[in-house]
Amino acid sequence: MNNNMNILITGATGQDGSNMVDYLLSSTEYNIYGSYRRLSVSNHTNLEHIPNKRFKLVNLDISDQQSIINTVKKIKPDYIINFAAQSFVADSWNIPIQTFTTNTLSVIYFLEAIREYIPKCRFYSAGSSEEFGNIDYFPQDIKHPLKPRSIYGASKCAAKHIVKVYRDSYNLYAIHCVLFNHEGLRRGKEFVTRKITTNIARIKYELENNKEVKPFELGNIYSKRDWSDSEDFVRAVWKMLNQETPQEYILSSNETHSVKDFVDLSCKYANLEIKWEIDDKEPLNTKLYCNDKVILQINKEYYRPAEVDLLIGDSTETRKILDWEPRYSFEDLVKRMVENDIKLYKNEMK
């Protein structure tokens, strides 16, 4: 094994990128470069624990083709793992051009740079179950037609096609994997799962310390998703990049749970006794109570213009090819996130 190989991970400050950095530093001897976009205020929280000399942060703007070319020529990576994205689905309606530039044009920029300067480099493109969108059947496998219902989903569909075109046209090792929802301890607080666990942690603290309880708000609590742990997925991605031949994959838990299920489990692991007041005729009147206090209410602003009501993947074939199985169940995932956020909130209040 060549220990002098270089790996470039985009989006290294995010959930998947930072988890991949950790995994590769622990399981390989390669040099790891994590890219980030320079901001006026740095946000490297997910990487602050890494003192490893084999890891370096590099400034890279993936929306700028010349920035990508300069980085590729300087590092000459043997692998490029592209986790950088405008990944907040709800925002994609508000910033459609930025979403496509970040999620789609950047893939072309990377593949062009690989084709011209480092044709032996192996490239990974992160896809999304949002590509399936207006679903035809359950569960969704790799053969399911692409029918996105969001700008974000459409941008990932385009990326998938671009990867295939470059793979077929230039014989590149370029792969695209449809990732169903995956969460974890480093998930951003704007995502619904982390929004739930951080607010449950806060409410638990407020209840236990006789403080005013401020309810939080969600949209469609009956939307169903296929949730996995990000730390499981990065292990599978590395396996994909080291197969003999490149192909498309799908990663999922093969289960589906509603947003309400996630809330219920979060309250359970926070030891909160709750009671729902469900209004089926007018969902906006639905409320969740704890100790006779409202802790959750519904806000129509959090409903999507075009909702994807039910997603559940079938990654059976991927699991066989990669000899991979997840280590964390849905229950494990929720428990880990809740316990972590309770600990973080208590530390904040000290």
Catalytic positions, please? 128, 130, 152
CB atoms near residue 27 (< 10 Å): 10
User: With contact defined as beta carbons under 8 Å apart, do 108 and 163 qualify?
Assistant: no
Cα separation of 192 and 221, whole Å? 10
Residue-wise DSSP of 198-265: HHHHHHHHHHHTTPPPPPEEES-TT-EE--EEHHHHHHHHHHHTTSSS---EEE--S--EEHHHHHHH
Using CA of residue 104, residue 156, residue 182, residue 31, what is the dihedral sign?
A: negative
User: With contact defined as beta carbons under 8 Å apart, do 179 and 127 qualify?
Assistant: yes
Pairing relationship of beta strands 55-59 and 31-36 according to DSSP bridges? parallel
Pairing relationship of beta strands 182-183 and 228-229 according to DSSP bridges? parallel
Cα separation of 165 and 163, whole Å? 6
Residue found under tokens 């090819």: 321
DSSP 3-state helix, strand, coil percentages of the chain (rounded to 5)? 45, 20, 40
SS3 for 35?
strand
b/e code 36-53 from CB counts within 10 Å (16+ = b): bbeeeeeeeebbeebeee
